[in-house]
Structure 1
């Protein structure tokens, strides 16, 4: 940005025009994001089983991108005694949020 600001106005316009050209030429192909495959939440589900269920439901997500949030919630359950149903509720939100972001559905609708 500093380099851009240091350019004369005419060269800034030329650079922006070239950037727009490159962006239009290199638009990535739209990839199809599969819909989640909902699995009903069983009564009395454990946090571990919920993780497996949500991983199967949202099979298209990169689990490594969920690791920080899911491991924090798991630790709250195991180490701090947080109720399983509360943790599972939050896990469902985390998975849904990551899916919506991947599918481009996280904008204001």
Structure 2
């Protein structure tokens, strides 16, 4: 009867495979964190600047007050939809560009309209 050693040999392939798994896990977590930050702050800013631009369409005072209330309620729905959409799209770069570029463009338009 022979007794064999039950200690498995450690190869470099399993070590590098473990590092790759840890690296991909870290990348995944950073991507999720990035999208979460974008969904909270980027979507909020995009909706807020859009609301301010829509309010410029209503010049008289009674209509402006109604517009502010209506658009603010609509902003909550749009922010929730953007939050969900940010996590649905595959490409993180596409999501960042789709939120940041319109926000920058609307900010410039708002600054031009304000004087």
Counting helix residues as a fraction of each chain, which structure ranks higher? Answer: 2
TM > 0.5: no
TM-score range, shorter chain: 0.3 to 0.5
Using CA pairs under 8 Å that are at least 6 residues apart, name the structure with larger relative contact order, 1 or 2: 2
Answer with 1 or 2: which has the greater Rg. Answer: 2
